[in-house]
């Protein structure tokens, strides 16, 4: 037992040195151990953890220790590829399959045949692409975009995500059957705030690297600064810690870093709150504002319809008949009055016989009435379009031009958003 433990520790330590992984946290060691154990097999693996914890190291370890190590290793960031082209990137396309497809192209699954594909941010895959991926996992088959020929591939898939896939499944954004196919084995990397003893080790490694890179003496933290470093939440995890180390290495001339100096490079307490809470609040505020706007627009439409109806009655029957026939309609439009007789309409001249001249005038009134109704409808449509344009612009600005995020926020498909952008020339 002691020999097995020693061998295990030596193996994990060797892997950490080979891939430059810093830290001795038990959760980190357990994740590396699981990667070593599943590497010789072909089962699919899901790597989970917050953004910036170093999830990309696990698939590299698995590939390097597997029988596929001499094959291709391709890492794909699914969230960085537009929805319209991701099928072509993953599975390839035939010449003429779509506009701009001037030649046949091999996809990643064809190129990596016999190797490993790492699908980072797999939770961002469109549903149509998820169906294609499920077929690859089940029987190794795929079809190029624009082709009818089934092709075979022998790849090992390792996926990673920083989102809660169970929530995505409940919202209909991720297939449940695909989730269970990808998570045959799940490896979770702990966030940096749970690796308290590793934070200072990582910081020292980063400042040593930057000192060598920029040819300057390394930084040194005093005891108070070390305590702050270890107590800080580090929402951006290792990536954030590395950025702070690089900033201080470049900007500080004094290489002895005090608590006050370190504090000046860290975000304030308010901005250090988990971003997911802020995002939900913003999304909720925007959703409430959108619901209120929709209600105002629908109420406006109802009022316009009531006004058109009253106008038609006035043109056809005269004010006295309208007040007798539709008192409720008049009260709805003009509000309650202490004395209904105060609502004064200019009455039409009453004629017992309709002469040809008055008949012609009556036709003219009807024609003018239809023209008036059409004008109101056109103005109503223009107002609705203006509100729609304002909402699309606001959502795009809020999401920094990311159309997929804007479409999700507006509650429409990305294809519909593309069409609206083109329609309104945004």
* Residue 419: per-residue pLDDT: 78
Is pTM beyond 0.85 here?
no
Q: What is the pLDDT along the chain (426 residues), one digit of tens a residue?
A: 555 555 455 689 999 999 999 999 999 999 999 999 999 999 999 999 999 999 999 999 999 999 999 999 999 999 999 988 999 999 999 998 888 888 999 999 999 999 999 999 999 999 999 999 999 999 999 999 999 999 999 999 999 999 999 999 999 999 999 999 999 999 999 999 999 999 999 999 999 999 999 999 989 999 999 999 999 999 999 999 999 999 999 999 999 999 999 999 998 754 444 444 454 444 555 556 666 776 667 667 777 777 777 676 666 666 555 555 556 655 655 554 444 444 444 444 444 444 444 444 444 545 555 454 455 555 555 666 777 788 888 888 888 888 888 888 877 887 788 777 877 777
Q: What is the dihedral of CA 12, 122, 115, 111, to 10 degrees?
A: -150
Distance CA 178, CA 424 (A): 37
**CATH value at residue 179:** 3.40.50.300
Residue 277 domain-assigned (yes or no): no
Same-domain status, 105 and 231 = no
Given a contact cutoff of 8 angstroms between Cβ atoms, the answer to whether 73 and 118 are in contact is yes
Do residues 37 and 96 both lie within one domain?
A: yes
End-of-domain residue from the set 239, 263, 287: 263
Of the candidates 263, 281, 309, which is a domain's last residue? 263
Residues 321 and 394 reside in one and the same domain: yes
Query: Where are the strands (E) in 206-330, listed by range?
Result: 220-221, 256-257
Same structural domain, 78 and 223: no
Instruction: Provide the number of structural domains found in the chain.
Output: 3
| Phi, then psi, of 158 in degrees rounded to 5 | -120, 125
Same domain, 254 and 305: no
**What pLDDT score was predicted for residue 331?**
60
The single residue listed with the structure tokens 């990643």 is: 108
Is residue 283, in this structure, part of any structural domain at all? Answer: no
State residue 334's pLDDT score.
55
Q: Which of 156, 190, 224 is the endpoint of a domain?
A: 190
Residue 284 lies in a domain: no
Q: Which residue, chain included where needed, has tokens 């990673």?
A: 160
Residue 109 contacts residue 142 (beta carbons within 8 Å): yes
**CA 259 to CA 120: how far, in whole Å?**
37
| 32 vs 77: CA distance, rounded Å | 22
- Residues 234 and 337 grouped into a single domain: no
Residue 11: closest CA among 60, 55, 58, 65: 65
Q: Is residue 288 part of a domain?
A: no
Let me know if residue 268 belongs to a domain.
no
Same domain, 183 and 211: no
pLDDT of residue 330: 58
Residues 180 and 199 in one domain: no
The answer to the question of residue 278 being in a domain is no
Q: Which residues neighbour 3 within 8 Å (Cβ) at sequence distance 6 or greater?
A: none
Claim to verify: residue 214 and residue 340 sit in the same structural domain: no
Does residue 391 belong to any structural domain of this protein?
Answer: yes
Phi, psi of 221 (to 5 degrees): -95, 145
Q: Is residue 53 located within the same domain as residue 147?
A: yes
Q: Which two tokens stand for residue 53?
A: 């914890």
Please indicate, yes or no, whether residues 57 and 140 belong to a single structural domain of this protein.
Answer: yes
How many whole angstroms separate alpha carbon 350 and alpha carbon 405? 63
Range of the domain at 367: 299-424
User: Is residue 365 a part of any domain in this protein?
Assistant: yes
Size of the chain, expressed as the number of residues it contains: 426
Distance from C-alpha of 402 to C-alpha of 414, rounded to nearest angstrom: 10
Considering the domain architecture, whether residues 20 and 136 belong to the same structural domain is answered as: yes
The two structure tokens encoding residue 78: 């699914």
């Amino acid at each position: 037992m002691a020999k097995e433990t020693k061998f295990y520790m030596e193996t994990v330590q060797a892997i950490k040195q080979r891939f430059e992984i810093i830290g001795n946290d038990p959760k980190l060691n357990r994740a590396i151990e699981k990667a070593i154990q599943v590497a010789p097999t072909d089962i699919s693996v899901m790597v989970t953890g917050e953004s910036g914890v170093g999830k990309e190291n696990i698939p590299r370890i698995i590939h390097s220790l597997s029988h596929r190590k001499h094959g291709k290793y391709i890492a794909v960031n699914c969230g960085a590829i537009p929805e319209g082209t991701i099928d072509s990137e993953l599975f390839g396309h035939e010449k003429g399959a779509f506009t701009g497809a001037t030649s046949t192209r091999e996809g990643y699954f064809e190129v990596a045949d016999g190797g490993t594909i790492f699908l980072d941010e797999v939770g961002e895959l469109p549903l149509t692409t998820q169906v294609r991926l499920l077929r690859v996992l089940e029987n190794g088959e795929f079809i190029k975009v624009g082709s009818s020929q089934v092709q075979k591939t022998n790849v090992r898939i390792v996926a990673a995500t920083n989102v809660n896939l169970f929530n995505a499944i409940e919202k209909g954004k991720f297939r449940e059957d695909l989730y269970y196919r990808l998570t045959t084995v799940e490896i979770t990397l702990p966030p940096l705030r749970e690796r308290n003893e590793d934070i200072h080790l990582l910081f020292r490694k980063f400042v040593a690297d930057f000192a060598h890179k920029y040819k300057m003496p390394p930084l040194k933290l005093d005891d108070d600064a070390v305590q702050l470093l270890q107590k800080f939440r580090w929402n951006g995890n290792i990536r954030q810690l590395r950025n702070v180390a690089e900033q201080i290495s470049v900007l500080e001339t004094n290489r002895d870093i005090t608590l006050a100096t370190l504090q000046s490079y860290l975000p304030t307490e308010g901005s250090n709150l988990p971003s997911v809470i802020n995002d939900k609040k913003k999304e909720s505020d925007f959703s409430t504002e959108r619901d209120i706007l929709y209600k105002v627009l629908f109420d406006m439409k109802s009022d316009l319809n009531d006004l058109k109806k009253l106008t038609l009655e006035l043109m056809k029957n005269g004010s006295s008949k309208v007040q007798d026939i539709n008192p409720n309609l008049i009260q709805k439009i003009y509000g309650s009055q202490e004395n209904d007789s105060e609502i004064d309409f200019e009455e039409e001249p009453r004629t017992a016989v309709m002469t040809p001249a008055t008949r012609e005038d009556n036709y003219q009134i009807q024609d003018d009435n239809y023209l008036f109704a059409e004008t109101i409808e056109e103005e109503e449509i223009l107002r609705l379009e203006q509100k729609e344009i304002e909402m699309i612009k606001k959502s795009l600005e809020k999401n920094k031009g990311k159309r997929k995020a804007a479409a999700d926020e507006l509650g429409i498909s990305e294809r519909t958003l593309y069409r609206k952008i083109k329609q309104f020339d945004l």
